[in-house]
Amino acid sequence: MRFSTRGRYGVQLMVDLALHSNNEPISLKSVADRQKLSEHYLEQLVPDLRKAGMVKSIRGAQGGYILAKKTEDIIVGDIIRALEGPIAPVECSGQKTENCCEKTNFCLTREVWVRVSDSINDLVDSISLADLVQEAEKGSMANLDEIFKIEANQDYKIKDKDSKK
């Protein structure tokens, strides 16, 4: 099972808004530039996110988009479902299982697909936008830490060479 670009880019859009908005509207162009995504494609995602009550649009010259809820209240599973519909590896493991196929009542493997579906849904429903923001911020800091470690090691090596002379 694969999530489409709608779900993946939608989650990226939401994380970017959370990281950069500071309660100020963010243009889709700036999100697209930072995330290396198509602005036109992001424009297609926003109506579904607005309908789901996750983003608000602000009109005007300084307009753009802001989160409609706190990051703790926006769940990754809800973002994906708003953009892609039910998260299910096969049709009969989703919410509406009656009459999904002629084998529903005696399918030997249906329970496997229901369990897979439940596991995936439980996972994406356990991750909030706040969790992703925290990870993104930690990742940025980790990158800075790596840069400083490399510079410190290079300085140390230079000192070692000089001290041997």
Distances (CA, A) of 13 to 42, 60, 104, 164: 8, 21, 38, 53
**Is residue 101 included in any domain, yes or no?**
no
CA of residue 61 relative to chain centroid, distance: 28
- Condensed to tens digits (0 to 9), the pLDDT of residues 35-46 reads 999 999 999 999
**Is residue 113 included in any domain, yes or no?**
no
Domain ranges, residue 143 = 5-85+128-164
**Residue range 124-129: mean pLDDT, rounded:** 96
Helix, strand, coil proportions of the chain in percent (round to 5)? Answer: 65, 5, 30
**Is residue 159 included in any domain, yes or no?**
yes
Number of domain units in the chain: 1
- Angle, CA of 131, 27 and 87, to the nearest 5°: 45
**Is residue 58 included in any domain, yes or no?**
yes
For residue 129, name the pLDDT band (cuts at 50, 70, 90): very high
**Is residue 93 included in any domain, yes or no?**
no
Long-range contacts at 121-124 (CB < 8 A, ≥ 24 apart)? 121/77, 121/87, 124/75, 124/76, 124/77, 124/80, 124/87
- Condensed to tens digits (0 to 9), the pLDDT of residues 131-141 reads 999 999 888 65
**Is residue 43 included in any domain, yes or no?**
yes
Question: What is the domain-level CATH number for residue 154?
Answer: 1.10.10.10
- Condensed to tens digits (0 to 9), the pLDDT of residues 146-159 reads 555 554 454 444 34
**Is residue 140 included in any domain, yes or no?**
yes
Helix or strand or coil: residue 26? strand
Alpha helices in 21-69 (DSSP H): 28-35, 39-51
Give the position of tokens 């996972």. 123
**Is residue 109 included in any domain, yes or no?**
no
- Write out the two tokens for 125: 């429903």
pLDDT at residue 165, rounded to an integer: 43
